[in-house]
Amino acid sequence: MEAAVTKAREEPLPPHHVAIIMDGNGRWARARGLPKIEGHRQGTEAVRKAIQAAIKNGVRYLTLYGFSSENWNRPRKEVDDLMGLLRGFLRSEIAELHQNNIRLRVIGERSQLNSDIVRLIEESETKTAGNTTLDLVLALSYGGRAEITAAARRLSERVKSGDLTPDCITGDEFAKYLETADIPDPDLLIRTSGEKRISNFLLWQLAYAEFVFLDALWPEFTTEHFAQALFEFGLRDRRFGASGT
């Protein structure tokens, strides 16, 4: 009995916040001779699986990189298709998210999104604001450099107005001006498709996150892949810059 209790105590805690770069939709479609939109459409099914897995494993925050600021440079038809899928998600999934006590939050530059999508986002955020099982954070029209630049601009405006002195600007103070100010930094970043880069995603917030890169393309992502990433996370020795033993 004592050994069982000791083993239970040694079980690693799940990451509080998981961020995912959902990569490989286009390659998945191309390998099957399908238009790219079919890869993105199948990717929305993987989003549902990731949400289910996060809740099952006790993850409190799940951030998904849905559309980067650089993605606006893709062909117009692909962008329009992606925006159509986003509209569909916001219209069809919010009721279920709300029913499952999930809060939706969106970070990114909304001014570039169509007004009807912004309205759907605002309505969804308002409807789910009180939910507490999982915070689902969608990064849309988001870029890490742009976020940091905007935060620096807001800080400089406060210094210029005399509300803040330069020596008061610490890392903690700077983080208050990011879009994720009230969201804890990710403990774990997962990227699918085998690519090993972070692509301008949460540049400030990922400073001490653990990275797990999966070969599976995003439309292939399953709860088992999520569990695999959590297992790898549990094996890591997180020291946050301190010396190892």
How would residue 179 be classed by pLDDT, with cut points 50, 70 and 90? very high
Superfamily of domain 14-143+185-235, CATH level 4: Decaprenyl diphosphate synthase-like (3.40.1180.10)
What are the pLDDT digits (tens) for 187-226?
Answer: 999 999 999 999 999 999 999 999 999 999 999 999 999 9
Cα 12 to Cα 66, 117, 236: the distances in Å are 29, 40, 10
Mark whether 71 is an active-site residue.
yes
Q: What residue spans define the domains of the chain? A: 14-143+185-235
What pLDDT score does 6 carry? 44
Annotated catalytic residue within 57, 71, 131, 200:
71
What pLDDT score does 241 carry? 63
Angle between helices 36-56 and 223-235 (to 10 degrees): 60
What are the pLDDT digits (tens) for 9-52?
Answer: 466 788 999 999 999 999 999 999 999 999 999 999 999 999 99
pTM (whole model) above 0.95: no
Buried b (16+ CB within 10 A) or exposed e, 9-42: eeeeebbebbbbbbbbbbbbbeeeeeebbbbbbb
Distance CA 181, CA 185 (A): 9
Annotated catalytic residue within 23, 81, 135, 187:
23
Mark whether 23 is an active-site residue.
yes
Write out the two tokens for 25: 């939709």
What pLDDT score does 141 carry? 97
Distance CA 127, CA 100 (A): 13
